[in-house]
A and B are shown apart, each in its own frame.
Chain A
């Protein structure tokens, strides 16, 4: 009987991320912004670390945090076909469970990336992990396998020999799975309970690393997804196309959505206004100097930030697009800048974080922190901590 009550309680618990979680790529709806306070400013290999736990292998995916659990994916093996999903206690860093899958799709990719490149998405019930091999698994928070699918088994022509990296997102009880590739290309919604397709929509046969964004408009939930043919808004309920915007082409970075403003990482950054029926008129501004490479732009405190592969950090006024500064630091950026508590955090591939003062039109460095390990995935901010996954370990930075 107690099991029955427990089941009923689980069934009626809303499947939502808890406020303060960082449950998907770039956190709350991909904004890269946390509302947490008292975030750390300074740290090093020996200082300012609450906990550090080793990882079994490399990954370029981000850590995600939900219901006080940190989830991380890795990939290993000479063929990079051994896929790992790990869960840690966010307070202590204790590893709670570790599950492995054998990749069923191709493992060819650019040497900078790997098969653990798509960031998982989590809620208080568990985690959904998509890999570049197109293996997709859902685990309950205790490590129980809820379901698993080999998408290459389902759609054998899926292929991207550069490597895939688009991340899934959650819309209530459905998981949105982006699968743009050179073979059977699609975006789909699968139900979170059994992993079955609710809808599946054909997409251009082209590779794409963009992660979908989600917005609510007039009682509808839209999934905004940029790709080779521009930006398309899909109805999350049925996959119907609601509107499109040809100039919203995407391939690697993901746009930033801030209210009814969308900041597209196209030839720098361009800002467009959204109405219920799509993009309104021409872009409000286009600023070529806000250069992105692998990383996605950040909108925080009325400013737009971009970091690129040459080590440039650029900042512009979100209202006018006026470039405020463009400064170079040592290193290259793959991780996207994130922000919270009045600070902007920019992480280089070699593990150096430049902490900038956000409320400034000048390039004001608050601290430069070196962990000395590769950081490719965008870190997470949750519970007043910064969670960084390197190629060797996961760190909780802060107190």
Chain B
């Protein structure tokens, strides 16, 4: 118990150093909440700390927001509920929330995105002008919620203004979109104005892959087995696949705007099987990235031979971005490998075997200075590249 108290005190002192507004009790309370770890460790202290924080009322509001960390969602949820309770208390007491401080917090992009979103919502509940004044500044925000609201508002404003600038305005707004529904909406609005956009580029889908397989996955064991393509650097080698059959890389591309690859068509139908997809991505400089995958099958994501993410789940849907691997592209060539496992379910709805993969920034947006190098000719293409002829066909 003493050790735990000391740790909290140390955290508390560290936090005090960066927070000028919190008193000692608030600082201790926040430190206790931020100290929570796995399986409820620290909950004994966090409960009383939560009450202490809430008892401070409005003065604890900004310190509580400052204590958010995007990397600690557990603590953020403790804080989120404390902020709601503080606001309830202030309302009952007839006190107004500190709108100036909330605005300063929400507009300071150095603060965690999740906390800024909470601050903005509180501000907007007190100040009817806040949305109109501040949202335009959030159109390229790290916070998905603030960005989304900003896009909604800007589209509304652009359409209300109308005129010859509408096309340009919508094109500009489109570049900031991240959510699928907003990307689709803007793409349609632009199409209605005669502007064809390639949504695959906005998402950053990889549209060219080298595929290889099948490898054996009887009883689902292939998921845990490390086959050689996981550390492949190029597509030159041949391997022994399922039933000792020789397998070689096959170059494939898709013109699907969501970058979908159907392995049943491209590699033939196989059950109890593993396939790999490989793409070479070229970065102008070292670049943090998300590698996001949707698939109805079990998947593993590798970047330069290092596993970034995995999910062992079959035929429960294929939502966009369900699997996110966070990595850093090295300057120069990088090898992305995706492992896609198929099981042996026999139901008609359990036959799909495929994937979509995109490379994007942490907000889901396109990365700059990133190209794909094609295995067949070394030519570099933009992520999401779909030939004009295929885009035109879709338009028709």
Residues on A facing B (Cβ under 8 Å): 77-79, 97-102, 104, 106, 108-110, 135, 137, 139, 143-150, 153-154, 157, 159-162, 182-183, 190, 194-197, 205, 207
Contacts and interface: CB of A to CB of B under 8 A. Distances in A.
A154 B80 contact: no
Contacts of A154: 38-39
A191 B204 CA distance: 46
B313 interface: yes
Most-contacted residue by chain A among B38, B47, B76 (CB, 10 A): B47
Nearest to A85: B81
Given A99-B81, A99-B85, A153-B73, 18 more contacts: A100-B80, A102-B77, A104-B74, A106-B322, A108-B319, A108-B322, A110-B317, A137-B81, A144-B50, A144-B51, A144-B54, A147-B40, A147-B43, A148-B81, A154-B39, A157-B312, A159-B313, A182-B312
B311 A159 contact: yes
30 contacts: A77-B145, A97-B84, A97-B85, A97-B88, A99-B81, A100-B84, A101-B77, A101-B80, A102-B77, A104-B73, A108-B322, A144-B50, A145-B50, A145-B82, A147-B40, A147-B43, A147-B47, A148-B77, A149-B40, A149-B43, A149-B74, A153-B74, A159-B313, A160-B316, A161-B322, A162-B316, A162-B317, A182-B314, A183-B311, A194-B43
A352 to B, nearest CB: 29
A144 B85 contact: yes
Given A99-B81, A104-B77, A197 B40 contact: yes
B39 A102 contact: no
A110 B349 CA distance: 14
A229 B85 CA distance: 44
A100 B82 CA distance: 10
Contact of A101 (B50, B81, B148, B181): B81
Interface in B305-351: 311-314, 316-317, 319, 322
A199 to B, nearest CB: 12
Contacts, number: 107
A81 to B, nearest CB: 10
Contacts of B254: none
A17 B170 CA distance: 56
B311 A135 contact: no
Nearest to B298: A182
A98 B80 CA distance: 12
Contacts of A108: 316-317, 319, 322
Most-contacted residue by chain B among A101, A135, A205 (CB, 10 A): A101
Most-contacted residue by chain B among A77, A108, A183, A196 (CB, 10 A): A108
Nearest to B82: A145
A196 B77 contact: no
Interface size class of B (residues with CB under 8 A): 35 or more
A108 B319 CA distance: 6
Contacts of B51: 144
A109 B144 CA distance: 20
B114 A102 contact: yes
A154 B179 CA distance: 28
Contacts of A182: 312-314, 316
Contact of A161 (B82, B181, B317): B317
Interface in B15-56: 38-41, 43-44, 46-47, 50-51, 54
B50 A195 contact: no
Give the 8 A-B CB pairs with smallest separation, nearest first. A161-B316, A108-B319, A182-B313, A196-B40, A194-B43, A145-B81, A161-B317, A195-B40
A324 B313 CA distance: 42
Interface string B193-219: 000000000000000000000000000
B78 interface: yes
Nearest to A144: B51
A251 to B, nearest CB: 13
Contacts of B313: 159-161, 182-183
A148 B76 CA distance: 11
Contact of B44 (A101, A190, A194): A194
A149 B39 contact: yes
Given A153-B73, A196-B39, A143 B319 contact: no
B38 A196 contact: no
Contacts of B144: 79
Contact of B78 (A143, A145, A196): A145
Contacts of B322: 106, 108, 161
Contacts of B73: 102, 104, 150, 153
A99 B80 CA distance: 8
A146 B49 CA distance: 10
Given A100-B84, A143-B88, A161-B319, A150 B74 contact: yes
B114 to A, nearest CB: 7
Contacts of B40: 147, 149, 190, 194-197
Nearest to A79: B144
B163 to A, nearest CB: 30
Nearest to B74: A150
Contact of A146 (B47, B148, B181, B311): B47
Nearest to B310: A157
A207 B43 contact: no
A74 to B, nearest CB: 14
Contacts of B50: 144-145
A110 B318 CA distance: 11
A196 B43 contact: yes
Interface in B147-189: 148, 179, 181
Contact of A195 (B43, B80, B88): B43
Contacts of A161: 313, 316-317, 319, 322
A148 B50 CA distance: 11
A150 B181 CA distance: 28
Nearest to B117: A102
Interface in B81-98: 81-82, 84-85, 88
B181 A78 contact: yes
A148 B41 CA distance: 11
Contact of A102 (B41, B80, B82, B179): B80
